[in-house]
Amino acid sequence: MQLPLYQIDAFTDRLFGGNPACVMPLQEWLPDGLLLEIARENAVAETAFFIPQGDGFALRWFTPEIEMDLCGHATLAAAHAIRTIHAYNGDTLHFHSRSGLLKVTFEGERYALSFPSRKPAPATLPVEIAESLDRMPVAVLKARDYVLVYNTETDIRQIQINRQLLDRINLDPGGVVVTAPGEDCDFVSRYFTPQASIFEDPVTGSAHCSLIPYWRERLHKTELLARQLSDRGGTLYCTDEGATVKMAGYARTYFTGTCEVPGNQ
């Protein structure tokens, strides 16, 4: 059967920037194994699948390896597809997900995602992570992801991580985020996922569920500008709202088309 498929660059205002996500609208769920095969064939960090549900949509995210509990950039990509390709004319989208109800509001061309806050707590650095780093962090915290704090943006830009050593640890569905104060923004980060087909994620919205409350407390600011320093780069306009965090960004459509998949048996 033929199904629509879109690829969208999220958290960027230009093509070939931000984090590419595939988006596939469905009328009903396909078998989980088939969803995973589609995500694997798409070969991007995340594929978002959604179906109509109540006053919104049910939303799921798959990497080429696993189903995720939360994904920011693919949620933004799905909202962009619903608004621009499917001509949605409301001001707000509601997504029902494994992480609860997620809200996306439209702020001009910008999409603002309200996600659960995941404030990280002090943690011990696992030996597998420590041995993979070419420089040690000044603080180690953990929520879903390990959050490694450094002193300068230069540390984040220059850090080298030995993938062979880091791949010894399994953090599914989490990863390792390195972060520091920014030079032209409030904070910067990079994100790495051991044992994943895409080792460094270009822009990681879900990691900001932990980064926003950490930097809010440290900088005494509720409005924060963040940049992810991957090769593609991305910008997030962040707000700490207490129980939730808001991260906003732009998106650009790379392609729209159809794909051929086996029937739902």
Q: Find the catalytic residue in 46, 109, 217, 260.
A: 46
Structure tokens at 258: 């159809």
What length does the chain have?
265
Q: Residue 69 phi/psi, 5° resolution?
A: -85, -20
Q: Find out whether 151 and 139 touch, Cβ atoms under 8 Å.
A: no
3-state secondary structure of 252: strand
- How far is residue 113's CA from residue 52's CA, in Å, rounded to a whole number? 19
d(CA 202, CA 232): 6
Q: What is the DSSP letter of 83?
A: I
Dmax (CA) for the chain in angstroms is: 54
Q: Is 28 a catalytic residue?
A: no
Phi and psi, residue 182, nearest 5° = -95, 160
Of the candidates 161, 156, 149, 228, the residue with the CA atom closest to the CA atom of residue 193: 161
Active site amino acids: 46
